Amino acid sequence: MNGVPLISLMLAIPALGVLGVIAGAGRDGAAARTIALLSSAVTFVISLLLWVGYEPAGARFQFEEQVDWLPDFGISYHVGIDGISLLLILLTTIFVPVALAASGSSVDTRLREFASLVLVLQFAILGALVALDLFVFYIFFELMLVPTFLLVGVWGGERRVAAAMRFFLFTMVGSVAMLVGMIALGTSKGTFDYVGLIDALGKPGGSIGAATAMWLFVAFTLAFAIKVPLVPLHSWLPEAYVQAPVSVTVLMSSVMAKVGTYGFLRFSIGLFPGAAQEAASAVALLATLGIVYGALVAAKQRDLKRLVAYSSISHLGFVMLGLVAGTTEAVQGGVIQMVNHGVSTGALFLMAGMLNERARTWAIAHFGGLARVMPVFAALLVLVTFSSAGLPFTNGFTGEFLILTGAFRAPATHVWAFAVVGAVGVILGAVYLLRMFQQVMQGPVNPAFVAGNGGANGPFSIGDLTGREMLILAPLAVLIIWIGVYPKPFLDRSAPAVRAVTASFAGASR
């Protein structure tokens, strides 16, 4: 594939897919979804070519493309990938077709607009993951806001407008802060190119000063902390996740949130390692607070979708703890946990949505005994629950083990203590996840599930997974087992990029 601009091609396919949906689908919603699915499938194939062609022992950034855009301002179209962005690209290209397929039974209005906005969101997320110019990254980062706002605000639940507005306002605050910091940094160094900035800041006399670096670190980190989100910047998340259609919630939690953790690692730590080292304990405190807070609030939930939403906050706290710990093991664990969280939490949201489609309720109390009625569903839910709880031989264990191991060896003061508290979050996670499984799957069978003529919201029928639903969940089940049993292909590809980040992080502490 030498000489083929795979990254630009990967970005072009969703954009062309939008045009195809608009021009080719007419008013036919089924055709719109089919065109979007085909587009996302082709994008996935290109991401596989990137996976196969990526050389772990090669240059840090590969498949690079660079064209001058605004040379007078030091801005260029510069894209490329390393092992970190490669894993998240693959995660994105897997989940977009999964979400589109899952939307078949929950989104039945304005399908042409819905499919177009999902492809725009994919385009924006992939662009943010490959951008190696701060200005280009910012454009893609901001573009994510538009389709997400509309997807929640148009196709969401009863409180969809309020949820979309809160998401919009929170995100805009962070974006403006990052824009100010980005302009200050780019104009001071004469370039917005990420690689050029790393070189400029690392040269003798290229330092911007500790105080300035800290202010810039805060400006960038605020934007990413809101996107993750970190507690106490999380209040937009529960309502947005709950009000959004399940397929959109899956994209927001499994894919879009990773742009926040990725941006923190790539830009906040990558550009300002000294400030990141100085702020490590503060960020670790917020991450640990998120782990415990998310788990405790999830344990109190009686709404299935809201429970998974708060569990997402807890699990992303683990990711941030690993990234800020600064050791190779912890950051490697944080990177792999980004993928793990996307797979496990996405699967939980999808399975919760499948139950809602059958019983038309999110209330956990209205379920019970479903393992006898839905044995295949129950078996998969056991796997996903164990994965989210971090049991050995599942993907969740791989990431949490590396994070906690590396955090205990972190150079930053007191990070090891936060790791101890974070380990308690593992126990709390097992408590609420197993309790949820017990209440939904075990115990007496709800008579309505057998008779098919009762329930909280009128008549309904309960059946096991359909062939379409099994196809949707199958790739996620494979990833849970694959990463849990044999994570080496994922770790090998991300290791060189992780070592490059941790080397600068460790050097800043000396």
Instruction: Note the helical H segments in 190-303.
Output: 194-202, 210-227, 236-243, 246-251, 257-263, 270-271, 273-278, 280-300
Please tell me whether residue 303 adopts helix, strand or coil conformation.
Answer: strand
Range scoring the smallest mean pLDDT among 17-26, 69-78, 194-203, 269-278: 17-26
pLDDT score of 421 more than 50: yes
Please tell me the distance from the alpha carbon of residue 358 to that of residue 373, in angstroms, as a whole number: 12
Q: Which amino acid is at 182?
A: M
pLDDT confidence of 448, banded at 50, 70, 90? low
pLDDT confidence of 470, banded at 50, 70, 90? very high
DSSP code of 68? E
pLDDT score of 1 more than 60: no
pLDDT score of 25 more than 70: no
pLDDT score of 452 more than 60: no
Range scoring the smallest mean pLDDT among 352-356, 441-445, 449-453, 468-472: 449-453
Task: Tell me the pLDDT tens digit for each residue of 333-374.
Answer: 999 999 999 999 999 999 999 998 888 888 888 888 888 888
- Mean pLDDT, the chain, rounded, equals 89
Task: Tell me the pLDDT tens digit for each residue of 374-392.
Answer: 899 999 999 999 999 989 9
Do residues 431 and 299 touch, judged by C-beta distance below 8 A? Answer: yes
Percentage of the chain beyond pLDDT 90 is 66
Please tell me the distance from the alpha carbon of residue 120 to that of residue 20, in angstroms, as a whole number: 12
Q: What stretch of H or E contains 69?
A: strand 62-70
Do residues 78 and 132 touch, judged by C-beta distance below 8 A? Answer: yes
CA dihedral 326, 327, 331, 334 (to 10 degrees): -90
The reply to whether omega before 459 is within 30° of 0 (cis) is: no
Task: Tell me the pLDDT tens digit for each residue of 93-121.
Answer: 999 999 999 987 777 788 888 999 999 99
Give the pLDDT mean for 401-422: 81
**What's the whole-model pTM score?**
0.93
Is pLDDT larger for residue 22 or for residue 508?
Answer: 22
DSSP 328-355: HHHHHHHHHHHHHHHHHHHHHHHHHHHH
Contacts 24+ apart (CB under 8 A), 49-52: 49/1, 49/6, 50/6, 50/7, 50/10, 50/81, 50/86, 50/89, 51/86, 51/90, 51/493
Q: What pLDDT was estimated at residue 463?
A: 80
pLDDT score of 443 more than 60: yes
pLDDT score of 510 more than 50: no
Give the pLDDT mean for 225-243: 91
Q: What pLDDT was estimated at residue 330?
A: 92
CA dihedral 164, 166, 168, 171 (to 10 degrees): -140
Do residues 310 and 290 touch, judged by C-beta distance below 8 A? Answer: no
Residues 6+ apart with CB under 8 A from 381: 351, 437, 440, 441
- State the distance between the two ends of the chain, measured CA to CA, in whole angstroms: 42
pLDDT confidence of 7, banded at 50, 70, 90? very high
Do residues 477 and 379 touch, judged by C-beta distance below 8 A? Answer: no
Classify residue 295 as exposed, middle or buried by CB count within 10 Å of its CB (0-12, 13-18, 19+): buried
Please tell me the distance from the alpha carbon of residue 137 to that of residue 505, in angstroms, as a whole number: 22
Percentage of the chain beyond pLDDT 70 is 94
Q: What pLDDT was estimated at residue 120?
A: 96
Q: At what angle do helices 194-202 and 134-143 cross, to 10 degrees?
A: 130
Q: What pLDDT was estimated at residue 506?
A: 64
Do residues 304 and 369 touch, judged by C-beta distance below 8 A? Answer: no
User: H helices then E strands: how many in the chain?
Assistant: 24, 2
Give the pLDDT mean for 261-270: 95
Rg (CA), the chain: 22
Range scoring the smallest mean pLDDT among 127-131, 208-212, 332-336, 480-484: 208-212
Q: Which amino acid is at 467?
A: G
Please tell me the distance from the alpha carbon of residue 484 to that of residue 384, in angstroms, as a whole number: 12
Q: At what angle do helices 111-130 and 145-155 cross, to 10 degrees?
A: 150
Do residues 14 and 29 touch, judged by C-beta distance below 8 A? Answer: no
Do residues 137 and 85 touch, judged by C-beta distance below 8 A? Answer: no
Phi first, then psi, for residue 104 (nearest 5°) are -60, -35
